[in-house]
Structure 1
Amino acid sequence: MTRSLRVAALAALLALAGCASPDVATYATEKPTLLPEQYFNGRVDAWGMFTDRSGKVVKRFVVTIDGRWSGDEGVLAEDFTYADGTKQQRTWRIRKLGDGRYVGRADDVVGDAQGEARGNALHWTYTLALPVDGRTWNVEMDDWMYLMDDHVLLNRTAMSKFGVRLGEVTISFRKRP
């Protein structure tokens, strides 16, 4: 193998390593403990924004979530209102699998969303069918939620396509008492 090919291979490996997410087990001892079936049972309000890869805020929104859990099955009805006045709805159907693992589905999610909760963190990965300029893009969502206290949950989601970072979604959730 030529020297330049070895250098290119090493650079590619380092670039891929830089895209990797931390392991959710890193947060196993963090408190308070996030149990999605408890936090998302009832009404939750949220405020968020999408920033493009340069950091420019492209969209702002508010969300009202009505979560209902029965045993290991949950339904989260999300009502989005964007700053430009447009509205969107998404309904998640989530199942607790045990050992901190969850699986979820929504109409605009391609296949199953896979989730794992440890300590104060929840990590979701899924493919979102995102309408953009009259076309639909399937984008990869790397979604991290962190419970700050009994009422506040912070969320950061990296969005990518073909491994290229498109931007980030940041959301602050507040559970109603």
Structure 2
Amino acid sequence: MNAWIYMLLGALLTLALVWLRTHRAGFVAQRPQDYEDEGPAFDVRKHLNGPLLCEGVIYGPMGRVSSRFTADFHAVWDGNSGVMTEKFLYDDGSVQNREWRLELTGDGTIRARADDVVGTGMGRQSGPTVLLRYDIRLPKESGGHVLNTVDWMYLTPNGTIMNRSQFRKFGIKVAELVATMRPKET
């Protein structure tokens, strides 16, 4: 009987440590306040505006690259409302299109909607960062699953944006995206 109690306590301790690592010390534990006093300031109306080039990789659940892509973005703002169209070209030849409808409030809060986003994504710009959380529905060809997404964008001193996103299902990371975004040369 004592062996079962020790096994149960060990399992509970392991689960508690995994939860702490994931929610208090990992990527998803970052907060916009962590960056608010740093610079240069990320203003989505300025830095996500006009034609942009995006290049990136997607890692699968085991950490190996599962896909590479390039994308053309184009964002247009009217005051605090913006529309950003995205056209992704993946290494397997497939194409994906998305249109984000963005709203920025006076306190830096961002509301984001897209056809494959379930509900409304919520985020915040703070210092040189933007955080966006949303649930995205994968295409039917990819299973149609809904994944919880945490999307961090970091503005670099030269104006390039580094994007790191993690996708989770039932709290388990199933994919990660790392990409750069920069103004497209005309």
Letter in 2 for 1:14: L
Q: Which residue, 59, 67, 72 being the options, matches 2:75?
A: 67
Give how far 1:9 is off. Answer: 3.9
> Which structure 2 segments of 5+ residues have no match?
24-28
Give how far 1:85 is off. Answer: 1.5
Partners of 2:152 and 2:94 lie apart in 1 by 26
> Which structure 1 segments of 5+ residues have no match?
none
Work out the number of aligned pairs and report it.
176
**What is the match of residue 16 of structure 1?**
19
**TM-score, structure 2 as length reference:** 0.87
Larger radius of gyration: 2
Q: Which residue, 115, 125, 133 being the options, matches 1:117?
A: 125
Give how far 1:164 is off. Answer: 0.9
**What is the match of residue 167 of structure 1?**
175
**What is the match of residue 137 of structure 2?**
129
| Deviation sequence 1:11-45 (CA, Å, 0-9, x none) | 33322221122111101122111011111111111
**TM-score, structure 1 as length reference:** 0.92
Partners of 1:164 and 1:124 lie apart in 2 by 18
**What is the match of residue 108 of structure 1?**
116
**What is the match of residue 49 of structure 2?**
41
Give how far 1:4 is off. Answer: 5.9
Q: Which residue, 134, 155, 159 being the options, matches 1:151?
A: 159
Give how far 1:6 is off. Answer: 5.2
Runs of 4+ in 1 over 2 A off after TM superposition: 2-14, 131-135
Give the conservation status (yes or no) of the 8 Å contact 1:32–1:150. Answer: no
Identity, % of aligned pairs? 31
Give how far 1:68 is off. Answer: 0.3
